[in-house]
Amino acid sequence: MHPQESQLSSTLSVSQTALARRRFLQLSATAAVGVLAAPLRSVLAQRTLPTTPSFAGTDLIVHGQDPPNAEPALEHLLESWITPNKYFYVRSHAPSPKIDRKTFRLQVSGLVERELSLSADELADAEKFPQHEVTATMTCAGNRRAEYNAINKVGGVQWGAGAIGNAKWGGAALADLLKAAGVKEGAKHVWFEGVDEISHNGGIIGFGGSIPLETALGQPQAPALVAQTMNGEPLTADHGFPLRTVVPGFIGARSVKWLGKIVVSDRPSPNHYLATAYKLVQEGTDAEWESAEPLYRFPLNSVICSPAAGATVKPGEIEVAGYALPSGGPNTIERVEVATNDGRIFRPATLLDLSLPYCWRFWKATVPVTPRTKEIVVRAIDSAGNRQPRKMTWNLKGYMNNSLYHSPLQVE
């Protein structure tokens, strides 16, 4: 076993219909990242042992309680460009662990000059690690998974199109932690491991993965973070309290929650959730799993949030609205178009409010409908020239569905 694999395997044990315009005036219109003016320690210290699921109540559509998995109704996503915490999707592979922030420590090791053991307070100390706030959209690789069932049944959480959200994430830049540790020559990847406990092949592992070192050190417009806050509030248990990585432009699986270990390595993480899971495969043979590349950046996508799928509307003109997400890079949405029925004639939609790299964009359009109209279709184009495929390409795990989005409706 590679020495870094052995190191990582010892898991730590720890007991729109209308947009609110005024929300946008509080945001910078020129950048997705800023440096926080005040230390976070006084705010963060108030939270010690969060155990209540963040989706307790009726704010989200619950797909499972143990582990917690839930998404908002699509109409709630349009209420604000910054997704309120109560409407932010929850994706977990194990129950949210109970963590005492006062005793919790993050370990940094591997190909570094100095191994680090850092408390949450140290990571929130602006004198040691400048605090950044990054606005970035996060989405699950399985967003829109349930649509694949029309071709062939897929397992896993049956996500609609709500496994996505846009938030202001606050914390220390991952690059600053790596600088403090001193990255050795030959390093190419940065591994993450959470302290959650997932049953796997007769044992217990933490959810983990890795990103290329160049990503960890780069993306100045939206740096990767070791985050402690979400929309100005301490992370809740279900969103990774007390620490999580946030990697703008990457699928949510690379933003590891309950972060306990960072390992700098010359190779990708051997953790199951990078080495095997989160890959595009058709048959699921051992050879196919081994040869498939891990998923990293999310694809271009667009979705209709209003009217709700299956809604009944009157003939005439209706307003259609939704979100569009550029492919995961320093890209933005250039154009959104909508059509009815077979999608032969598309008309442009109006793009709304902020346009920032690594963030979604809201749109709206006025569409004429008649009793013959059976559905509305949307497609998007981003600044890299990416276009959505017309049809789905089925895969065994139901990942990365970014085909044209069809929303049925009744006109009468």
* Residue in 23, 135, 18, 138 with CA at minimum distance from that of residue 75: 18
Asked which of 268, 291, 314 is the last residue of a domain, the reply is 291
**What's the CATH number where 352 sits?**
2.60.40.650
Beta strand 225-230 pairing with 244-246: antiparallel
* Residue in 117, 99, 127 with CA at minimum distance from that of residue 41: 127
User: 398 with 365, same domain?
Assistant: yes
User: 223 with 275, same domain?
Assistant: yes
User: 322 with 270, same domain?
Assistant: no
User: 195 with 165, same domain?
Assistant: yes
Domain span at residue 195 reads 3-291
Encode pLDDT of 28-45 as tens digits.
333 456 766 444 444 454
Following DSSP, what letter does each residue of 253-306 receive, concatenated? GGS-BSEEEEEEESS----HHHHTSSB--SS--HHHHHHSPBP-BPPPEEEEEE
User: 318 with 402, same domain?
Assistant: yes
Residue 157 pairs in a beta bridge with none
User: 220 with 109, same domain?
Assistant: yes
User: 12 with 73, same domain?
Assistant: yes
How far is residue 84's CA from residue 230's CA, in Å, rounded to a whole number? 9
Classified as helix, coil or strand, 41 is helix
Count other C-beta atoms under 10 Å from residue 268's C-beta.
18
Contacts of 153 (CB under 8 A, 6+ apart): none
Beta strand 105-110 pairing with 61-65: unpaired
Q: Give the count of domains, the chain.
A: 2
Asked which of 291, 323, 353 is the last residue of a domain, the reply is 291
**What's the CATH number where 123 sits?**
3.90.420.10
**Residue 6 CA, distance from chain mean position:** 29
User: 274 with 354, same domain?
Assistant: no
DSSP-derived letter for residue 185 is T
pLDDT value for 48: 45
How far is residue 367's CA from residue 320's CA, in Å, rounded to a whole number? 7
User: 98 with 67, same domain?
Assistant: yes
User: 274 with 371, same domain?
Assistant: no
CA distances 253 to 44, 207, 257, 298, 306, Å, are 24, 9, 9, 11, 28
User: 151 with 260, same domain?
Assistant: yes
Question: Considering the domain boundaries, does residue 253 fall inside one?
Answer: yes
pLDDT value for 344: 82
How far is residue 254's CA from residue 266's CA, in Å, rounded to a whole number? 18
Contact 165, 55 (CB under 8 A): no
User: 213 with 345, same domain?
Assistant: no
Question: Considering the domain boundaries, does residue 232 fall inside one?
Answer: yes
Encode pLDDT of 139-151 as tens digits.
999 999 999 999 9
- The HSE-up count of residue 138 (CA atoms within 13 Å, CB side) is 26
Question: Considering the domain boundaries, does residue 296 fall inside one?
Answer: no
Give pLDDT < 70 ranges for the chain. 1-33, 35-58
Asked which of 291, 323, 349 is the last residue of a domain, the reply is 291
